[in-house]
Amino acid sequence: MTLDYAWLLDPLYQRWLLNGISTTVLLSLLGIVLMFVIGIIGAAFLHLNVRYLQTPTTIFVELFRNTPPLVQLFFLYFMLSDIGLTLTDPATGRSIPLFTGFTCVVLSLGLYNGAIAVEIIRSGLLAVPSQTVEGARALGYTRLQTFRHVELPIGLRLCIPPMASNIVSLIKTSSQAVLVAVADVMYGATQIMLETFRNLEVMLLIWVVYLVITGVAVLIVRRIAAAVRIPGYGS
Amino acid sequence: MNAHVKIFLVGVLGVTLVLVALFVAVYGADSGAILRDVAGRTPLLLSGSADFSAFEGGFAANIVISLWAMALAAVAGTALGVGMISQSAVIRGPSVLVMNLLRNSPWLVVLYAMLYLLPFEVRIFGRFIEISPMIKATIGLALPVTANIAEVFRGGVESVPTGQWESARALGYRRLQILRRVVVPQAIPIMTPNLMTTYAMLFIGSSLVVVTGTHDVLSVARTVIASDGDHVATAVYLYILYLFFLFCFPIAILTRWLEQRVRVRK
């Protein structure tokens, strides 16, 4: 079996791949932002014992953690297009659907990995030494101030290792975008396969592309972890 | 156990309510008719046949594929895990590399790659054996999970105190013998919850096998939507969401209970 990569010299295919990679990176970045928003808010509700919000948060976490992100994506895609919210483009006056495939992918990534992030951040918050929290209370910080200025900053640093694998999982999951026809790197790959029939070569290349993207993500997380390290907390 | 039972009940009741509310919000006055339509498709979605006569497709196929993939990954993952804690760098280096490569590759890409990498049929002793999409899906799912199991194995072995190794060495056991007879039996209680989490993850990932052309629950769902019309799509996907939840949530709760028990015993 010989591998033929001559098609890679074609500028059209190169452009498809590069556009796909930038879409995948953009999807992942937006997904990561949404994941952190959901994770921090959910963990805050659970940690601060907010009355009436704890049970809904638990239900949300259990629902999205225990179901496949792919089914969530299809469900969001079909339900939101049924509801059919549209935005009016100010430039052309045309109405464009608010929930495109792209939005649905970002939402499903944020919801699935966000539900996992809630648990990760919560365990980080629980790992903050109780003396530190008591010290903050003794200095006159309110419960909310303690959370905002002491528990959250330290807790987030303590949960960096599991969060890194959650981010890698989010990037990997973003490849599902192809199944709702978002032009990510997998989509570019399927298009190239349709034209060249070099299925195996294309897939192996995409495999490497994802390994590089996740590898870079892990490196960035390590740099951030080293930059924000507080001596004495975490390794 | 009581706290876990409470979370279980809250979770099951709460999620049921949330999904029913979503269903009614989407369909409004048509809810009853749509619910009857989709409920009529239950045998097809669960077993791939219209009257439970066979269990070769639908949700049953997901369960079968996930069990086989777990069995394959358990064998391969243990081997990889043993390689990762080997004393010789020649074995350890490549094992760690393979583990990291497999762990960082997207499942969907591995599944697609297996679809094209594995031949259509193989010839063993002059007989042609067809490699069905189901077998390809199983192997494609097992590969990334192998990495997770290898990690679980390494973590479990490393959690056993080194004194166990030293005393077994003093009794004259060889390295593999120590692993098999002394260390692994003690590591199993610690590894079990992590293995169950891995299985739940694998089961959730088994929804992806739809791309290999297997008759799993999602491809049956597509057939149902194609024949009954687009308006049932939301209802069908809600139903599948609920099926997956009902399968995975008890595993998650059981895992947490076991985890706590192991921690208490330590």
pLDDT in tens, B226-250: 888 888 888 899 999 999 999 999 9
- In terms of residue numbers, what domain contains B17? 2-265
Mean per-residue pLDDT, B205-220: 89
Helix (H) or strand (E) holding B124: strand B121-124
* Residues A174/A25, Cβ–Cβ less than 8 Å: no
Q: What are the counts of helices (DSSP H) followed by strands (DSSP E) for chain A?
A: 10, 2
**CA atoms lying within 13 Å on the CB side of residue A8:** 11
Q: What are phi and psi of B21, to 5 degrees?
A: -60, -45
In angstroms, rounded to a whole number, what is the distance separating the alpha carbons of residues B181 and B236? 50
B-chain residues near A75 (CB < 8 A): 234, 237-238, 241
Tokens 């799993």 found at: B216
Rounded to the nearest 10 degrees, the angle between the axes of helix B133-158 and helix B89-103 is 120
Q: Which of B11, B109, B245 sits opposite A206 (nearest CB)?
A: B109
Residue A175 token pair = 């490849």
Domains contained in chain B, number: 1
Helix (H) or strand (E) holding A103: helix A101-126
CATH number, domain of B172, equals 1.10.3720.10
Instruction: Give the pLDDT confidence score for residue B232 in this predicted structure.
Output: 84
User: How much is the ipTM here?
Assistant: 0.87
Interface mutation vs chain A, best among B45, B118, B207, most A CBs within 10 Å: B207
Instruction: Give the pLDDT confidence score for residue A202 in this predicted structure.
Output: 87
Over residues B176-208, the pLDDT tens digits come to: 899 999 999 999 988 999 999 999 999 999 999
What one-character DSSP code corresponds to residue B216?
B
pLDDT value at A235 more than 60: no
- Which one-letter amino acid corresponds to residue A161? P
pLDDT value at B113 more than 90: no
In angstroms, rounded to a whole number, what is the distance separating the alpha carbons of residues B200 and A3? 36
- Which one-letter amino acid corresponds to residue A158? L
A84 touching chain B per CB within 8 A: no
In angstroms, rounded to a whole number, what is the distance separating the alpha carbons of residues A68 and B164? 41
In angstroms, rounded to a whole number, what is the distance separating the alpha carbons of residues A218 and B104? 10
Residue B233 token pair = 């799509």
Instruction: Give the pLDDT confidence score for residue A98 in this predicted structure.
Output: 66
In angstroms, rounded to a whole number, what is the distance separating the alpha carbons of residues A121 and A100? 30
Nearest to A178 by CA among B106, B132, B232: B106
In angstroms, rounded to a whole number, what is the distance separating the alpha carbons of residues A189 and B108? 12
Over residues A152-164, the pLDDT tens digits come to: 999 999 999 899 9
* Nearest-CA distance A233 → chain B (Å): 22
3-class secondary-structure state, position B122: strand
Please identify among residues 51-80 of chain A the ones whose CB lies closer than 8 Å to any CB of chain B.
55-56, 58-59, 62-63, 65-72, 74-75, 78-79
Over residues B45-60, the pLDDT tens digits come to: 888 777 777 777 889 9
Over residues A91-106, the pLDDT tens digits come to: 666 666 667 888 889 9
Q: How confident is the model at residue B129 (pLDDT cuts 50, 70, 90)?
A: confident
In angstroms, rounded to a whole number, what is the distance separating the alpha carbons of residues B259 and B266? 11
Separation in Å, CA A232 to CA A123, A132, A160:
18, 12, 15
Domains within chain A, CATH numbers bracketed: 10-227 (1.10.3720.10)
Closest chain A residue by Cα to residue B242:
A67
* Nearest-CA distance B170 → chain A (Å): 34
